Amino acid sequence: MRIMTSNIWGDYFNNPVSVREDLLYSVFQKYDADIIGMQEATPGWYAGELFAKLQENYCLLGSETFNTDDYVPLAFKKKYTLLDKGYELLQETPDRSKAITWAVLQDGDKTFAVCNTHFWFMMGPEHDLIREENARQMSTLMCYIHDTYHCPVFAFGDMNTTPSSSVFEIYDHNHIYRLFPFAAEKTDLITYQDYPVLGEDGRYHGTLREGDQSLAIDHIVGLGDGYTVSSYIVATDRNALDSTDHSPVYADIELL
């Protein structure tokens, strides 16, 4: 299966969704992920056409009732059976857009869980402490799901921190690991880009930043065993760069 995380660039900056949603949808079509976790799904995104188009092939959590309070919705292919689901705000984060949407899914005789999130974003020691609390809350949830359903649990999203930060020390302590090092095929690139710029043609145009995974802030992590990772890819094609300021990241995983 293919898991993708994508910060879709909320329309906070006079950057209307209508100019970009066709590009982003084409990115989702191209990579055809089984699970998509989105961040910054603002009311503007809910009012657009993206979620309606996705519902042709996906079930949506967070947006199934067009609940615009959930900024971190999950989409999963209709072939999966939903066993459990949940949503929780990140407790130490004073921002309703920072939350976790999760699901336990079944494919035949295989069960797995996914958690989509967006951690606190500001920089500085006091904000690092907030992200540490975000990571502890995520770890507690992942461990609970793993112990309850005895299945691998994957978490992903814009965690607003690099792999060398204290967030990953907390993950390591809970036996939660980045998938990137385990992938046979991988792109060693930064995941956040410059803001796309509106051109005279009325379209946004993005630019790829220089940098490797040591500067990445969008991650996919896993807890438990019973799976292998064949690829971990940062999408940098033109439509991805022009539609959002974060490159979508996906991992190809085989459940054993």
Residue spans per domain, the chain = 2-255
Q: What is the pTM of this model?
A: 0.96
Residue 67 has a pLDDT of: 58
How does residue 62 score in pLDDT terms, banded at 50, 70 and 90? low
Identify the CATH number of the domain defined by range 2-255.
3.60.10.10
Which regions of the chain does DSSP assign to beta strands (E)? 2-7, 35-39, 58-61, 74-77, 81-89, 99-107, 110-118, 153-158, 176-178, 185-186, 197-198, 204-205, 218-223, 227-234, 249-255
Q: What is the DSSP string of 86-97?
A: EEEE-TT-S-TT
Residue 63 has pLDDT above 90, yes or no: no
Residue % of the chain over a pLDDT of 70: 97
Kindly tell me if the per-residue pLDDT of 162 is higher than 50. yes
For the stretch 163-215, pLDDT in tens is 999 999 999 999 999 999 999 999 999 999 999 999 999 999 999 999 999 99
**Bridge pairing between strands 185-186 and 99-107:** unpaired
Cβ distance 157 to 119 under 8 Å? yes
Confidence of residue 93 (pLDDT cuts 50, 70, 90): confident
DSSP helix/strand/coil, 183: coil
Percentage, residues of the chain above pLDDT 90: 95
| Distance between CA atoms of residues 78 and 101, nearest Å | 18
Distances (CA, A) of 248 to 153, 232, 236: 20, 11, 8
